[in-house]
């Protein structure tokens, strides 16, 4: 054995761990590299198709409870789509600049229902008048709630919080931003299992198996899998509908399975431009505003997780905290627009569109800006937009099974920066995941049985704040992980390494990594006036 020499190189067949990577390497187009125009337009249309699910599901659930009919539902869907297009453009140009679609959020459904059930609307007999009054109340609450996100974002407060975020505490927030939406996946697809299940199977076959089976030169099937799958199953559902398969089915089955039951196509106007205060002047109520502010705060945490997932799938470097804070501020402006136009729901980053970035491996900013153009175009041309919006909900739910899974798995991928052999890591990871699933389950079960949340005091606004906040899986998991990660043995140098904190050190400031300029700097030389720190 030779003494004093260099250590021998590892043998060819010796196992070596996979290297840690700041950026995903096998993405076809990153933020700044757009695909050719024809491909970009098709990919943009695919993003538009995917975000339609949430855009239709939220008003379909809320408008009838507010007293509105098909006509009001069609107008709310149009408005939500129009505002989503504007918000997506604002976010991609001036916010984080990530290819993130900003759309309607399920987080705001609970406070909106609380407003619907408020005593001050119960004595209105005329359904249309009741709808307008509730819509104005929702608008007022959204306008007030938007200020919370704008203050948290633009003041730099969120920048100071997220500076303490390590890869370990980011894992539960990002993972449950995807996995936490599991009840919107297969349970919703199974409401019409004969179209939901085939969609899942066709999507997986077309995107995962077919490209490898036929050895195509160009990635057509995996890149446009959503268009292929939706077209095939939608046509199949249409034939089932006109063939009379659901003629004697119960009304619920008919509304989920039939392609002609959304009521949107007949109710949508040919051309209509949504405008601010179209439902009348907003009304303000302190209790309702507090409930919506709780949802806005939860939205900050959920969007943080989704923004981190978008940055990963767009092959960008980890988000500098100042850019993340700027994005949250612009999201607040998005909620303000929701309030001014009257969408009945606030906005957050679309989780399903983040999953689509992963499926297509295209994280281009231009593609998402084109999709925003489709949103605005089809919201103005109501009849054409309504045709796509009438795709049965189980088809969208089937797509979610794949997209939410992709977002959840990108959260788990940050574990590459952490020491998984550390008991501290295991405890924080396991406990935050468990509480993130368990606590909201308790709140939701209690509400389903009792008709109100576990916190049921005389102050309705206080009940709403606690019940809305702790019903969010990413919020609870993120809060537990963030607290434990920043308080348990944090002064220990080995712990700093175990939690992966040192890997993200160079991204804590905008200027310490040269790639930040490429991905996140503002357009039109605006960085001179609004510098990122």
Q: What is the pLDDT of residue 227?
A: 95
Pick the most confident of 126-135, 252-261, 385-394: 126-135
Give the residue-averaged pLDDT of 181-205: 95
Domain with 168, as residue range(s), is 37-413
Structure tokens at 6: 């260099």
Q: What is the pLDDT of residue 138?
A: 95
Render 12-39 in DSSP notation, one character per residue: TTS--PPPP-SS-S--SB-TT-PPPHHH
- Cβ burial, residue 240 (10 Å; 0-12/13-18/19+): middle
Q: Is residue 495 part of a domain?
A: no
Give the residue-averaged pLDDT of 50-73: 91
- Three-state SS string over 427-480 comes to HHHHHHHHHHHHHHHHHHHHHHHHCCCCCCCCCHHHHHHHHHHCCCHHHHHHHH
Give the residue-averaged pLDDT of 288-311: 95
Which pLDDT band, with edges at 50, 70 and 90, does 12 fall under? low
- pLDDT tens track for 346-368: 999 999 999 999 999 999 999 99
Q: What is the pLDDT of residue 337?
A: 97
Residues making up the chain, counted from first to last: 533
Q: Is residue 485 part of a domain?
A: no
Q: What is the pLDDT of residue 516?
A: 85
Of the two residues 524 and 455, the one the predictor is more confident about is: 455
Q: Is residue 530 part of a domain?
A: no
Q: Is residue 531 part of a domain?
A: no
Give the residue-averaged pLDDT of 365-384: 93
Residue 466: pLDDT over 70: yes
b/e per residue 103-139 (b: at least 16 CB within 10 A): bbbbbbbbbbbbbbebeebeeeeeeeebbbbbbbbbb
Residue 6: pLDDT over 70: no
Question: CB–CB of 461/200 below 8 Å?
Answer: no
Which pLDDT band, with edges at 50, 70 and 90, does 295 fall under? very high
Measured distance CA(164)–CA(419) in Å, rounded: 18
Closest to 231 in 3D by CA, of 452, 45, 496, 361: 45
CA angle 337, 342, 344 (to 5 degrees): 110
- pLDDT tens track for 258-283: 887 767 777 888 889 999 999 999 99
Range scoring the smallest mean pLDDT among 19-33, 147-161, 477-491: 19-33
Give the residue-averaged pLDDT of 492-511: 86
Reduce the DSSP state of residue 249 to 3 states and report it: coil
Residue 85: pLDDT over 90: yes
Question: CB–CB of 466/157 below 8 Å?
Answer: no
CA angle 214, 220, 222 (to 5 degrees): 80
Q: What is the pLDDT of residue 460?
A: 82
Q: What is the pLDDT of residue 9?
A: 63
Summary mean pLDDT of the chain: 91
Percentage of residues of the chain with pLDDT beyond 90: 66
Which pLDDT band, with edges at 50, 70 and 90, does 254 fall under? confident
- pLDDT tens track for 390-420: 889 999 999 999 999 999 999 999 999 999 9
Of the two residues 530 and 318, the one the predictor is more confident about is: 318
Going by their DSSP bridges, the two strands 347-349 and 102-104 should be labelled as: antiparallel
Q: Is residue 98 part of a domain?
A: yes
Q: Is residue 316 part of a domain?
A: yes
Q: Is residue 25 part of a domain?
A: no
Which pLDDT band, with edges at 50, 70 and 90, does 1 fall under? very low
Q: What is the pLDDT of residue 372?
A: 97
Distances in whole angstroms, Cα of residue 478 to Cα of each of 309, 436, 474: 14, 8, 6
Give the residue-averaged pLDDT of 491-505: 86
Of the two residues 267 and 175, the one the predictor is more confident about is: 175
Q: What is the pLDDT of residue 101?
A: 97
- Number of compact structural domains in the chain: 1
Query: Looking at the DSSP assignment, which residues form a beta bridge with residue 420?
Result: none
Q: Is residue 32 part of a domain?
A: no
- pLDDT tens track for 202-228: 999 999 999 888 877 778 888 999 999
Q: What is the pLDDT of residue 210?
A: 92
Give the residue-averaged pLDDT of 300-314: 96
């Amino acid at each position: 054995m030779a003494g004093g020499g260099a250590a021998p190189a590892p043998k060819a067949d010796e196992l070596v761990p996979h290297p840690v990577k700041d950026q995903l390497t096998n993405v076809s187009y990153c933020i700044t590299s757009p695909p050719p125009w024809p491909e970009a337009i098709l990919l943009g249309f695919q993003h538009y198709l995917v975000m339609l699910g949430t855009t239709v599901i939220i008003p379909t659930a809320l408008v009838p409870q507010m007293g509105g009919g098909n006509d009001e539902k069609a107008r709310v869907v149009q408005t939500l789509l129009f505002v989503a297009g504007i918000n997506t453009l604002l976010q991609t140009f001036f916010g984080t600049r990530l290819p993130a679609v900003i759309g309607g959020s399920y987080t705001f459904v609970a406070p909106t229902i609380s407003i619907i059930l408020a005593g001050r609307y119960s004595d209105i007999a005329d359904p249309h008048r009741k709808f307008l009054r509730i819509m104005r109340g929702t608008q007022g609450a959204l306008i007030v709630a938007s200020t919370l996100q704008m203050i948290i974002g633009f003041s730099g407060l969120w920048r100071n919080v997220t500076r303490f975020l390590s890869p370990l505490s980011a894992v539960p927030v990002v993972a449950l931003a995807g996995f936490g939406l599991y009840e919107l996946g297969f349970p919703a697809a199974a409401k019409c299992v004969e179209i939901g299940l085939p969609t899942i199977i066709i999507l997986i076959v077309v995107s995962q198996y077919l490209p490898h089976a036929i050895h195509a030169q160009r990635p057509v099937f995996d890149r446009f899998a959503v268009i292929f799958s939706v077209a095939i199953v939608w046509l199949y559902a249409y034939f089932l509908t006109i063939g009379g398969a659901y003629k004697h089915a119960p009304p619920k089955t008919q509304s989920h399975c039939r392609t002609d039951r959304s009521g949107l196509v007949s109710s949508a106007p040919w051309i209509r431009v949504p405008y601010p205060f179209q439902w009348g002047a907003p009304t303000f109520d302190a209790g309702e505003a507090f409930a919506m502010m709780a949802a806005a705060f939860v939205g900050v945490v959920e969007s943080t997780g989704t923004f981190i997932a978008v940055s990963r799938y767009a092959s960008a470097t980890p988000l500098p905290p100042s850019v993340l804070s700027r994005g949250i501020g612009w999201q607040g402006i998005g909620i303000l627009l929701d309030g001014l136009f009257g969408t009945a729901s606030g906005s957050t980053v679309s989780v399903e569109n983040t999953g689509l970035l992963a499926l297509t491996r295209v994280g281009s900013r231009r593609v998402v800006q084109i999709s925003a153009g489709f949103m605005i175009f089809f919201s103005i041309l109501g009849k054409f937009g309504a045709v796509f919006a009438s795709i049965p909900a189980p088809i969208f739910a089937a797509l979610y099974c794949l997209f939410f899974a992709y977002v959840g798995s990108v959260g788990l991928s940050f574990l590459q920066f952490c020491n998984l052999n550390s008991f501290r890591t295991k405890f924080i990871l396991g406990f935050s995941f468990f509480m993130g699933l368990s606590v909201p389950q308790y709140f939701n079960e209690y509400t389903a049985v009792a008709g109100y949340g576990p916190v049921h005091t005389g102050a309705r606004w206080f009940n709403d704040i606690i019940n809305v906040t702790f019903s969010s899986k990413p919020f609870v998991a993120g809060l537990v992980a963030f607290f434990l990660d920043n308080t348990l043995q944090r002064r220990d140098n080995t712990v700093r390494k175990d939690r992966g904190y040192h890997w993200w050190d160079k991204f804590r400031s905008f200027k310490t990594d040269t790639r930040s300029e490429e991905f996140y700097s503002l357009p039109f030389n605006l960085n001179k006036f609004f510098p990122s720190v």
